[in-house]
Amino acid sequence: MNNGSRFKQLTLIIGDIGILYASLLLTLWFRYGKFFYAEFINAHVQPFTIIFIFWIVIFYIAGLYDLQGLKNNFEFEKRFWYTTLVNILLTALFFYANPSFAITPKTNLGIFVLVFGCVNYLWRTLFNALLGRSEATNHILLVGANQTAQEIVDYLQQNPQLGYRVGTWMKEGLHDKEFNHLAQIILSENITTIVIPAHIKKDAKSAKLIYKCLVLGVEIVDLARMYEIVFQKVPLAELEEVWFLENLSTKHKIYESVSNPIERLLALLLGVVLLPLLALIAVIIKLTSPGSAFFSQRRVGRNEQEFTIWKFRTMRADAEKDGPQWANYFNDPRVTWFGNILRKSHLDELPQLYNIIRGELSFVGPRPERPEFVEKLRKELPYYDLRHLTKPGITGWAQINYRYAASATDAYQKLQYDIYYIKNNSLLLDLVIIIRTIKFLVTNHD
């Protein structure tokens, strides 16, 4: 994310915080006729500050600070009001289930919700409108034309709120008649970034010409890197073996050596806490359909080592009598009625805590695939085996950014996200994935 994007998000967060406190002040004024008095300090600041922290966190989980979604359309309005409603319900629960605070603000809470909802909606709508019309802070000179470049251009044109503008597009690449006039174009178009395919850097004359432009303060970015910045996945069609040698090293081993024992301990604790729920689910499965409550499959993990993954059974016992096949996660006739509930709530994944305790899975990582499909996909997809460089996970970057894989085409798209995760693996990225997974579970998006 560039500095301009961070500034926009920070502005939005600060605006939301300001409106939260301003709405509280207005609420007290409407109710008591005063903006500032001792009761506000003593009785309202502490509990409402706790509430406001949760509101901001839930707004983040819901994606209300993702620049891609900050457009005044039906999807944004639905997400905004749905998230606000969730916050209201949690706030009411907080006050009426927590006797440690001296207030149970029935009337005040109602006034606050009305004031904040109206003011914040107007603020958000105005912010989105200004964001879409604001001058781009990143002016791009794009060299070369292929499907990857076209995807980037189309996406940036459809999402001006991201702050990028393709000022010049030299579609003919090295043969473009304007290529020898890069400096003049950079100055006249106020170019901040030059995006070039990898092969142009291998041309000595072109590389020298681009190098001279560095003194003009521009940034030189590979087409693959630009694609990664925009879409948060890697473009496999643009990559060569040298890219993997440079980017997929063993630099994350220290992080993994620390996180692995913590994950196993956390999985053990969660298993103990959730044991009553696990037992209840197992009993319901046994009572509603014939067969075992649990379902196991062989999967391919790190370094292509096979292991047995465990889930609650969601399909009929004879679901694969005709052999392995792709599953349609939300519309599969083999799924039982209770299995459908487990799948939509993702409770069927809970037995995989056992796999984490055994060290076969992580909480976050590429989803492990079945050996039968691995053999097929490694023949059809370039670099597919690279996803086995890291330990697989219950959730992952591909799972929160792309629908359930039901074909080789879907697997190709998810592979681009998986390799992005392996390249950028860190504690921060894992936390982002876990938070967005919570959003996925709450909103039940495909």
Domain annotation covers residue 108: yes
Longest dimension (CA), the chain: 75
Indicate which CATH number applies to the domain containing 226: 3.40.50.10700
Q: Quick one: 264 and 195 in the same domain?
A: no
Q: Quick one: 222 and 359 in the same domain?
A: no
Residue 359, sorted as left (phi over 0), alpha (psi -120 to 50) or beta, turns out to be: left
248-297 residue pLDDT tens: 765 566 777 788 899 999 999 999 999 999 999 999 999 988 889 999 99
Angle between helices 408-424 and 427-443 (to 10 degrees): 140
Q: Quick one: 294 and 422 in the same domain?
A: yes
Count: domains in the chain:
3
103-132 residue pLDDT tens: 556 677 888 889 999 999 999 999 998 887
Distance, CA of 364 to CA of 348 (rounded, Å): 17
Q: Quick one: 212 and 290 in the same domain?
A: no
pTM of the entire structure? 0.79
**Sequence-ordered alpha helix ranges (H) in 223-364:** 223-231, 241-247, 253-273, 275-288, 337-345, 353-357
Distance, CA of 255 to CA of 259 (rounded, Å): 6
Q: Quick one: 214 and 276 in the same domain?
A: no
Q: Which domain-ending residue is among 172, 201, 231? A: 231
Q: Quick one: 103 and 60 in the same domain?
A: yes
Which residue range(s) make up the domain with 85?
3-133
18-73 residue pLDDT tens: 999 999 888 888 877 765 556 555 677 778 888 899 999 889 888 888 888 888 88
Q: Quick one: 151 and 127 in the same domain?
A: no
| 182: nearest Cα among 203, 150, 227, 193 | 193
Q: What is the DSSP letter of 237?
A: G
**Sign of the dihedral defined by the CA atoms of residues 283, 288, 291, 295, in that order:** negative
pLDDT-above-90 percentage for the chain: 34
Q: pLDDT tier at 324 (50, 70, 90 boundaries)?
A: low
Q: Which domain-ending residue is among 133, 162, 191? A: 133
Domain annotation covers residue 237: no
Sheet holding 219-222, edge to edge: 164-170, 138-143, 193-196, 219-222
Q: Quick one: 209 and 282 in the same domain?
A: no
Domain annotation covers residue 239: no
Q: Quick one: 98 and 183 in the same domain?
A: no
Q: Quick one: 301 and 402 in the same domain?
A: yes
Domain annotation covers residue 345: yes
Q: Quick one: 125 and 169 in the same domain?
A: no
Domain annotation covers residue 123: yes
